[in-house]
Amino acid sequence: MRILPMTAAAALAAGAVLLPAPAARAAAPLSAPAAAVRTGTAPTAALERTVDRAVADRLAADRIPGAAVTVVSGGRTVLAKGYGVADTASKRRVDADRTGFFLGSLGKLFTAQAASQLAVAGKVDPKADVNRYLRRAAVPDTYPGRPVTLDNLLTHTGGFDSDIVGRNRARAAQVEPLAEGLTERRPARVRPPGTLAAYDNYGFALAGEVVAEASGESFPGYLDRHVFGPLGMTGSTAAQPGPASITGSLARGYRPSGDSGWTRDLGQYGSWSPAGPGIVSTAADMGRWMRGQLGADPAARLMQRAHFRGDPRLPGLGYGFEEWRRGALAGWFKDGDIPGFHSNLLLLPRQHVGVFVVFNGDGTDGTASWDGKRVIDAVADALAPGAGAPAPVHRAVGVDAGRYAGTYRPARVSRHSLMKVEALVGSVTVRRDGGGGDGGGDGGGLVTDGLSLDPEHTVQHWVPLGEGMFQERGGTARIAFPGTGGVLVSSVMPSTAYQKVTWSQSPALHMALLAGGGGVLALGAVAYPVTALVRRVRRRPAHAAGARAARMAAALAGVVALGFAGAFAAVVGDGNAMMEMVPLGSPLLSVVTWLGATVVGLCAVVLAGAVTAWCRGWWTRLGRLALTATALAGAAASAVLLTYHLAVV
């Protein structure tokens, strides 16, 4: 087989994708040394080489079609550059000035800026009940005397349940008005406001409605006139559909498909646009926005102030921003993820530096979001060498680490929707480190699994700094257990706290019940038909109709359980595809919940049959025990399906 020409062609194609786009734009090289970044300058040529290497490595390693990076320093955009392609079919190159990218949750920063502008102007009070401003989407008074405020909405502490299933749309023309989207399928309030941070898309969408109501303008119109327009951000919009001058240059988002191809992602539009869907910007425009944020704008100063801390010893939340710390560096961070697009932004006010990175691909196993953070770290290290290194750790002794051991689930986990499944796969385990976390012998350290954002290093070891406070061994991240230790807060994700679960809420227990119960049901799918066939071949007398129906229900429950397992595996088997399925509300999700509901219904019939079998003496004792075991297994699996809303018609 002659494969060398094909291999050469593939190599050429890969090279074309990885080369910087011809339309890339960078400022003229500056002569100041690297340390001068603290005074507002940067060595552009060296910086460009650093970014080129970092981005090219990520595009190649993780199969991402394109990217754009912007760096501002000292009030200037010193680098704005596109890489790869914006459209894999046409091979259109990424242009830093013209190519628009969907920002996802990074668009929350524009919502926070709009709200902060109104607060500075005295048109809204961040500490007042938002119902003072909301006429079309008033918040229910679930907790009397504990109103939701704009401050809560902008710091993810409003206390709303999380449910984005089916909230997004494949095309902009399908998007309903903001107020309608807020009142249709309104999530419940599940905790008093201001108590815990739990990442909240609905809260930011409500904040956008506050902006619209208080200003008398539509949300997209307000951004055009008061955020994008004054900064000259002509390639940015929140309108759905957007102007032709912007939509004609949009990048397309992709996920890897097969060995070398890509599948286009959909689902970037939605009525909750203040939370991110539908918001578009270019790399050059984001440079303009970062320069504005690093200036003297009063609204920017309000955004870049800690308004909530899960623990007073850790970074907190500004308006839209998360506090960011790495060694001696301190700044403000935000990222955004929407099907096919992943963006990261960091401001370092003391160094007068801002960095923006965006990819138009999910990357292998969904690594694009982490890739953006890697690029930002590389830029920070280039501009401030050594400043991001971990500080020496002064290990505390006598810390009772064992009291913090257990399983913790994100506070954002839904209580009332299919998104509760996140608790099964997204929980964090904390255990005592027998070696003390740093080689010590008193067991004062901790080990966590599932907390790290780095997909290659999910297990972390933590050194005690004091009661309820730990630092990652060899790193800069910190975790804390405020109060009685039932809550875990992380320095790298202050927008979501983690709550300790009881043994009966343990995801490991629930997974065991689901797997074990499903396995027994699957066994019955084979055993009961075989038993009936053997009985018929041997010409045994037929059992009572009720007995036959009970065993038939058991066999059908096993068959449907196998179908459920297959459909569920199809949903979660490709994390990138699942990221599109959930916000779009894929029919496959409906298939999963319909099959789950069918399993529950059939298991109820089996349970009734088992009780009746003992009452009426069907079969032998062994036969009754077999059906009883099947019924109990089905009951266990059904309980898990119902708990996680996986059995809904």
Per-residue pLDDT tens digits for 550-604 = 999 999 999 999 999 999 999 998 989 999 999 999 999 999 999 999 999 999 9
Per-residue pLDDT tens digits for 254-264 = 999 988 899 99
CA 300 to chain centre: 25
Annotate 299-361 with DSSP letters as a single string.
HHHHHTS--B-SSTTS--B-SS-EEEEETTEEEEEEEEEETTEEEEEEEEGGGTEEEEEEESB
Annotate 504-536 with DSSP letters as a single string.
GG-HHHHHHHHHHHHHHHHHHHHHHHHHHHHHH
Amino acid 539: pLDDT: 87
3-state secondary structure at position 453: coil
- Residue among 299, 307, 425, 346 nearest 106 (CA): 346
- How far apart are alpha carbons 634 and 621 in whole angstroms? 20
- How far apart are alpha carbons 303 and 322 in whole angstroms? 10
What confidence tier does 43 reach under pLDDT thresholds 50, 70, 90? low
Share of the chain above pLDDT 70, in %: 92
Amino acid 393: pLDDT: 85
CA 161, 341, 361, 455 torsion-angle sign: negative
- How far apart are alpha carbons 173 and 241 in whole angstroms? 6
- Strand segments, DSSP code E, in 204-328 are 254-257, 261-264, 269-270, 280-281, 322-326
Amino acid 185: pLDDT: 87
3-state secondary structure at position 568: helix
Which two structure tokens, joined as six digits, stand for 593? 């919940």
- Residue among 487, 126, 127, 499 nearest 311 (CA): 487
3-state secondary structure at position 177: coil
- How far apart are alpha carbons 294 and 272 in whole angstroms? 28
Is the pLDDT at 35 greater than 50? The verdict is no
Per-residue pLDDT tens digits for 84-140 = 999 999 999 999 999 999 999 999 999 999 999 999 999 999 999 999 999 999 999
What confidence tier does 535 reach under pLDDT thresholds 50, 70, 90? confident
- Residue among 594, 325, 636, 315 nearest 480 (CA): 315
Helical (H) or strand (E) element with 575: helix 575-584
CA 106, 110, 115, 120 torsion-angle sign: positive
Amino acid 390: pLDDT: 86
Per-residue pLDDT tens digits for 354-384 = 999 999 999 999 999 999 999 999 999 999 8
